[in-house]
Structures are given as structure tokens and as C-alpha cells.
Amino acid sequence: MGDSSLSDLKPEYRVDGSCWKFVPVISEGFFNQRPGDIFRHHLILLQLQLAVIFTLAAIIHFFLGRFYLPRLISEVLAGVILGPTVLGRFFPDISAVLFSEQSVKVLATLTRFGYLFFMFLIGVKMDVNLIKKSGKREWTIGTMVMLFPLLVTVMIGRHISIVVDKVDAQSAQYEVSFFTGVLMLTSFPVVAILLMQLKIINSELGHLTLSSALISDMVSLVMVNIGNYRVIMLLASLRVALKSLFLVAVLIVFILTVLQQMLYWIIRKTPEGKPVKDAYIFFVVIALLVVAIVGENVGLQYMYGPFILGLTVPTGHPLASTLIEKLDTIVSGWMLPLMSTYCGYRSNLWNLNRLPPYWIMFAVTFGFFLKVACGFIPAFCFKVPCKDATALALMLAAKGIVELGTFATNAEKQSTVTQEFTWAVIIVFIVAALVPILTRKLYDPSKTYAGYQKRTVLDSSINEGVRMLVCAHRQDDAVSAIKLLQLSNPSTGGPLSVYGLYLEELVGGASPLLLNHQLGQRSSSDGGRWQPIIDVFNYFKSQSSKPTQVHVYTAISPSSLMHEDVCWVAFDNLVALIILPFHRKWNRKGKLISDSKDLRDFNTKVMNKAPCSVAILIDRDRGRNSSIIDESSTYNICVVFLGGKDDREALSIARRMKGWPSVFLTVIRLKETEDMITGWEGMMDDECLRDIKHPSNENGNVLYKEEIVRHGADTSALIGSILDENFDLICVGRHSQCDSPLIEGLSAWTDLPELGTIGDLLVSAEISKPISILVVQQQVIEK
């Protein structure tokens, strides 16, 4: 044909005396053919179907999303509307054109491809080491919630189907076992998606649920395949089953040896900090398609081969993160929603002209409650609170895209849509809608770290000392905080316990990790990224003038939920103060080099949810000396005290620092009048300042001053004069009585409300002096 285009092709051919038409996949143009003929082209029809599906699903989710229902509900409803239930029944002509028999086959093929890639990505996101780290509690819950309901429901359901519903033994052996078995399984991907939707994946309950779901999913994978080979032996022969089992074992060994070594070779060939080459990504995609084809032909369902291949991909950078970056958007945002819509399309509610069989009713009622009970009882026995145990059991019984995909894969093997498939879609739909609503009622994540106990530096016992949590996103953050920790740990006074937390964004994984390096915990990826942070805290411990406890953690989690790890570590270790790095960074010349919106949002979330006091450290001291306490030099600290609980907490932190002979503390109290005592707050301010006001041997290096200011303009001028002095660190409270006349008119000009009015003045862009600022917020007590 040479260079002829598709339009040059003759439309009619004669083969063996019969006539058929060649219809190009793409259109020749709207104006080059009759308007109705444009729907003959499969690509045009597929594009129209996708546009209609996603537009309708988005409109439905716009309304249902307000009730916190998952997107899967909207996608299934869109399929039901476009299928024989609504469009096919009331507008059959439109349905025949838009969803012709041949075009639906193309759509079904696309959904299978999407599900195949989804299972591969789930394997990539899984961290198998989570199983190794799981304890007796996770193993007990994960095993019981799957094994006991599966065996009991399948056996009793099979018996009911034969005795009551009069189903033949062969159908009961396969169809009934398959249907009830899928409903009793716990799917790790579904649970992980639910936890992300509820935003509790980083909580203690989230970690327990995720670990239990992973164990349950792995055990069920073994059980399902054992059941499949048992059916093959009964329906075919032992020889066929053994042959299939041998070929599947060979395929799995090939994946775990040859392909896994090739994946490690790809990682070794990728330079540090560089992305994986596209050629290597193409190789992985081709490998997963080959594995799916081979697995389907040797007796392994087409989605399991890619899933096992995904498990062999090392978690994290660079390969797993690149694969997720390249594939996740198109798979999760485009291909996968087609699966849930396709399931809704294939179901026909008009065929449900009678009640479901008794074995389905048994599986839905007794089976579901048995599964919830098997999740609740072991959790409650392991001291999980009653409401949390109920929420955990409900989440482990959740249904979603994996169950729909499994039912759809089985339905593809049948020529007609059975009532069982429609009932399966309805059951998954109802459970997927109810579980998030019930879980939100039982478990309120906003109250997870609510403080009913005072955890502040001001209220810390002298004998027990102070516990501080330092958060670091990079090594500079840890170095800056170490200077503050050394100042807070003089040779005299109560002991100091330090908890260092290195925060890393989760890329290329679905399982957040919280590693305690004192326990020797590691992840499957290289730990070199957090080793410099550990070295900084170990250096601080070695330089301390008295015994100091230092514990270092690493939290790997999504950036939107990273604050949960901080709050959990602080809550679990009874921390009195969290030290956060400021979201802006300066170089040695005082030039702003970084301004991270994500880091600012992170700091705000921690301050709103923390179970203790919080301080943001703005480090403009560009000397970067590792050791700051030098007997031959002095360190000047200033506390700007307007009054209020945040200023009292800031003063308590600074009071610990005056134990160093080389530290000089200046407390500047701003007052409206000479004898200003206003109510209970004023009395508490005076009580906090009592030992600072009066000279003594312990206060030889303390200077107390009072300044009279009338309004915000005077306060602003005073702050400017303080910055002109030779201070190394200035401590201020965040709120400082926002309704006080002392800052009248200044709040309207505040750019960074998380720092408060005075803190915002101190970090103004016009200031370039190398002064460090500590903005303190005292713990918010739950009332």
C-alpha cells in the first residue's frame, strides 16, 4: 500500500464469495462521513465511553463525597446507570449505540489491563518486612480474622446450598465456595486505601490494622491457591493438578531468582540521586505482561504473577518510586476506576426477581458478623480499647476494588451475567459504603492525642527532668536543634531526655514505617539516608556534661500524614516539648534559599494536634559550629515577655539555660502600666517571674527589665531595638494575649500566624542579623 493513508483503503472486500467491510479504528473526520457512522470507529467510541463514564462518576461523587463516601461508590453507581439497569432499560437505542457488544469487549479488556497493573503496583507498594516486624498480636488477629470465618462460612454455606437451595454438588463445590470465600477474605490494598481515606494510617490503630491485613492477605493467598488446586483435582485429575502446581512453582522460582536479580541489577546501574532510565521501566512492564500471560496458561490467575513480581521490587528509591511515579496516576486514576464502573455496568438489578439464595443470605449475615467477631475478640484480648477493637474489626472486613475485580474476572468466564454476580456487586457496594461511616463514628482521630495531662516544660518535675522531641527533615535541622539542646542541658538541674525523629516522605510504598534505631530496626531500603541524623544525636550524647538519654527514630510516611508520626512519638514517650524546624532556610550570607509550603503546613498541623508544648526554631546563626558551649565565650539569650501561658512556657525553657556560666539571660517584660496585674493570668505571670525579678546567687547571669508600651507601634519599635542588640537567641510565646493593647494593630499585618504577632516581627524579611528565634506554644489542654 506504500504511503497510502487509511482513507485510501477501499471499504469493501470480497473473500470466498462473502462480503465484509473494513472499518478503520480511527475516524476520517466528522464532515467526511455521515454523522451516525462516526460511532463505527472503536477508538472514537472508546473515547466517548470514557468521557461519559468519568463525567458521570465525577458528578455523582461531587454529591456523595460530602457524606465521606469513597469514590468507588460513585463509580459503581455510574456503571449501574449506564448499564442495563437504567440506560439499557429506558433508553435502549442510546445504549445500543454507546455500548455496543463489540465496544464492551474492548472496555472489558482495558479493565483487565488496569487490574493487572494495579495488582503489580500493590506488590510494589507492599513492604514484606512489615510481616517480619509484626508481633504476636498482629499474627493472631490477621490469622483469626481470615482463617476461621473462611473455613466455617464456606463449609456451612456449601451445605446450605445443597440441602436448602438444591444446588448440585459440583456447582456448590466451585461457585458457592468461590463466592463465600471472596467475601470472607481480607484484602490489604482495600484496607490500605480505607486507612488513607480516613487519614488514620499513621495512628497506632492504623499500624495495627495494616499489619494484620497484610498477614491476613498473605495467608489467604496461600489458602485460595490450595483451594483452587483442590477443585482442579476434583474436576479434572490429580495429574493435571500436579502438573499445574509444578509449572506455577517454576514460574515463582523464576520470578524470585532471575527477575529479582535483574531488578537489583537495574538499581545498581542507576546512579545515586538519578532517575531510572526509561528503557529499564519498559523492561519491567514487558516482564510483568509476560509473567501474567505465562501464569494464566500454567494455572495461576493472571493477576497473581504481576503481584508476586511487584513484591520482589525493593521498596523505596529508586526503582519502586519511579515505577509508582510513572504508572500510579494512569492506573489508579484512569484504568482502575473502569473496573468498578464495569462491574456496575454488568450487573442488572431487574434480574433480581426473587430473594437471593439462602447460602448468599447466610454468607452476608452470619459470615460478616463472624468475621467482625473474629477481628474484635483477639484485639480486645490484647488490650485494645473496645471502640478501637470494633473499628479495627470493621476495617478488616471492608470490601472494595479487589473483591470487585475478583468477581469480574470470574464473571468473564461465563457467557451470561448470573444473579450471583449482581448480588456480589450489591454486597460490596453496601459494605464499602457502611464501613467508612461506622469507623468514623467509632474512632475519632482528632482525639487520638488529646491532652488531659499537663505535658509542658513549666510543669516538668525537677527530678524526672524534661523530655524533648526534635524533628529533622535533613541534617541541618538536627545540627540547629543540637545547639538548643546543649543550652537546655546544663551540668546542674534536672536531666534531659532527647528523642530525635528523622522524617522522610513515603515514596514507592503503601506501608508507613516508624523505625526505632535503639532496637536495631531497619527497613528493606538502604539506611544511609538517616545515618547522618543518627550521628548528630550520638555526637550530642557524647558531648553532654552529664548522663543524657538519646533515642533516635525514623518515620517514613506520606507528607500529608507525617504530623501523625510526630504526635504519636511525643504521646508515646510522654514528651514535654516538640522542636520543629522553620520552613524557611538562609545561606551564610543571609539570603533566603528555601521556603517550603509543605513544611509550613506540616508545622501548623503539629501545633494544632500536639499532645504537649511545641516550639518552632528559626535558625539564622550561620556559624554552624557543632559545639556551642565554650567557657571562653558568652551566649546571650533574651526572653520577650508580654504575659500569658505561651510566654510562661518560653521563660521556663530559657530558665533551664541559665545554668551555664557562659550564658547570660535577659528577660524583658512589656507592660502597659507600672502596676499591671489583670486577673488570674496576671497573678500567674508574676508568680512565674518571681525568682527572675529578685537578684540572688543563682541569678547572677540574669537581667530583668520592664518596658512600658502603650500600643502596637511602641511594641514594634521595642522589638526593633532588641534586634539591634547582641543577642544570639530570642525566645517568645506564640499567642502572647492577641487581644492585648500591647500588640494592638499588629495582628492585621501578620504573615505567619503560626509564629504569632511577635514571632512574625522577629522573622521579618528585612532582618538579616544571625539571630536564632524560638517561638513557643504551650500545650493545649483538652477541656
CATH of the domain at 115: 1.20.1530.20
Confidence at residue 8, expressed as pLDDT on a 0 to 100 scale: 41
C-alpha closest to that of 457 among 491, 497, 492: 497
Helix (H) or strand (E) holding 451: none
- Measured in degrees and rounded to the nearest 5, phi and psi for residue 556 equal -115, 110
> Is the Cβ–Cβ distance between 656 and 462 less than 8 Å?
no
Full 3-state SS string of 93-108: HHHHHHCCHHHHHHHH
Cα 266 vs. chain centroid, distance in angstroms? Answer: 27
Can you say whether the dihedral through the CA atoms of 572, 573, 574, 578 is positive or negative? negative
Provide the pLDDT confidence category of residue 4 given band limits of 50, 70 and 90.
very low
Confidence at residue 525, expressed as pLDDT on a 0 to 100 scale: 47
C-alpha closest to that of 330 among 142, 121, 144, 126: 121
Full 3-state SS string of 303-362: CHHHHHHHHCCCCCCCHHHHHHHHHHHHHHHHHHHHHHHHHHHHCCHHHCCCCCCHHHHH
Q: Rg of the Cα trace of the chain?
A: 32
Kindly report, residue by residue over 16-65, the tens digit of the pLDDT. Answer: 444 555 556 665 655 555 555 666 667 778 888 889 999 999 999 999 88
Residues 267 and 343 in one domain: yes
- Residue 669, classed as helix, strand or coil, is strand
Task: For residue 36, tell me if it sits in a domain.
Answer: no
Task: For residue 58, tell me if it sits in a domain.
Answer: no
Q: Please say which residue of 629, 645, 677 terminates a domain.
A: 629
Confidence at residue 53, expressed as pLDDT on a 0 to 100 scale: 92
Mean pLDDT lowest for which of 184-188, 702-706, 709-713? 709-713
> Using alpha carbons only, what angle is made at residue 149 by residues 143 and 151, rounded to the nearest 5 degrees?
95
Domain that holds residue 548: 449-518+528-629
Report the alpha-carbon distance of residue 268 to residue 84 in Å, rounded.
53
Residues 309 and 271 in one domain: yes
Q: Please say which residue of 419, 446, 473 terminates a domain.
A: 446
pLDDT surpasses 80 at 13: no
Which grid cell sits at 121? Answer: 503496583
Confidence at residue 524, expressed as pLDDT on a 0 to 100 scale: 44
Task: For residue 611, tell me if it sits in a domain.
Answer: yes
Confidence at residue 82, expressed as pLDDT on a 0 to 100 scale: 92
- Indicate the residue type of 248: V
Provide the residue count of the chain. Answer: 783
Kindly report, residue by residue over 100-120, the tens digit of the pLDDT. Answer: 888 888 888 888 888 889 889
Task: For residue 276, tell me if it sits in a domain.
Answer: yes
> Is the Cβ–Cβ distance between 677 and 706 less than 8 Å?
no
Residues 369 and 472 in one domain: no
Q: Please say which residue of 629, 644, 660 terminates a domain.
A: 629
Provide the pLDDT confidence category of residue 701 given band limits of 50, 70 and 90.
confident
Mean pLDDT for the stretch of residues 351-377:
87
Confidence at residue 2, expressed as pLDDT on a 0 to 100 scale: 40
C-alpha closest to that of 668 among 727, 621, 619: 727
Residues 458 and 540 in one domain: yes
Report the alpha-carbon distance of residue 373 to residue 390 in Å, rounded.
9
Residues 473 and 454 in one domain: yes
For the chain, give the percent of residues with pLDDT over 90. 16
Task: For residue 603, tell me if it sits in a domain.
Answer: yes
Mean pLDDT lowest for which of 141-150, 290-299, 485-494, 674-683? 674-683
Report the alpha-carbon distance of residue 301 to residue 470 in Å, rounded.
49
Residues 439 and 509 in one domain: no
Residues 207 and 248 in one domain: yes
Cα 110 vs. chain centroid, distance in angstroms? Answer: 28
List, in order, residues 6 or more apart from 461 with CB less than 8 Å away.
494
pLDDT surpasses 90 at 693: no
Provide the pLDDT confidence category of residue 488 given band limits of 50, 70 and 90.
confident
Confidence at residue 630, expressed as pLDDT on a 0 to 100 scale: 58
Q: At what angle do helices 136-163 and 368-381 cross, to 10 degrees?
A: 160
The residues with which 467 forms a beta bridge, in sequence order, are: 497
Cβ neighbourhood burial of 414 (10 Å; 0-12, 13-18, 19+)? exposed
Kindly report, residue by residue over 637-669, the tens digit of the pLDDT. Answer: 999 888 888 888 999 888 888 777 788 888 888
DSSP, res 37: G
Confidence at residue 654, expressed as pLDDT on a 0 to 100 scale: 87
Provide the pLDDT confidence category of residue 282 given band limits of 50, 70 and 90.
very high
Mean pLDDT for the stretch of residues 281-302:
87
Residues 709 and 582 in one domain: no
Residues 419 and 459 in one domain: no
Report the alpha-carbon distance of residue 305 to residue 259 in Å, rounded.
12
pLDDT surpasses 80 at 184: yes
Question: For residue 350, how many C-alpha atoms fall within 13 Å in the half-sphere facing its CB?
Answer: 12
Kindly report, residue by residue over 414-443, the tens digit of the pLDDT. Answer: 654 578 888 889 999 999 999 999 998 888
Structure-model confidence comparison of residues 230 and 390, the more confident one: 390
Task: For residue 12, tell me if it sits in a domain.
Answer: no
For the chain, give the percent of residues with pLDDT over 70. 81
Q: At what angle do helices 419-442 and 177-184 cross, to 10 degrees?
A: 20
Phi-psi region of 367 (alpha: psi -120 to 50; beta: other; left: phi over 0): alpha
Residues 662 and 542 in one domain: no
pLDDT surpasses 60 at 263: yes
DSSP, res 628: -
Residues 429 and 488 in one domain: no
Beta strand ranges found along 350-486 (DSSP E)? 466-472
**How many angstroms separate the first and last alpha carbons of the chain?**
82
User: The cell 442495563 sits on which residue?
Assistant: 84
Mean pLDDT lowest for which of 150-154, 577-581, 619-623? 619-623
Which grid cell sits at 429? Answer: 457496594
Question: What's the CATH number where 613 sits?
Answer: 3.40.50.620
Residues 475 and 340 in one domain: no
Task: For residue 481, tell me if it sits in a domain.
Answer: yes
> Using alpha carbons only, what angle is made at residue 569 by residues 565 and 571, rounded to the nearest 5 degrees?
115
Task: For residue 142, tell me if it sits in a domain.
Answer: yes
Task: Report the mean per-residue pLDDT for the chain.
Answer: 80
Number of domains composing the chain: 3
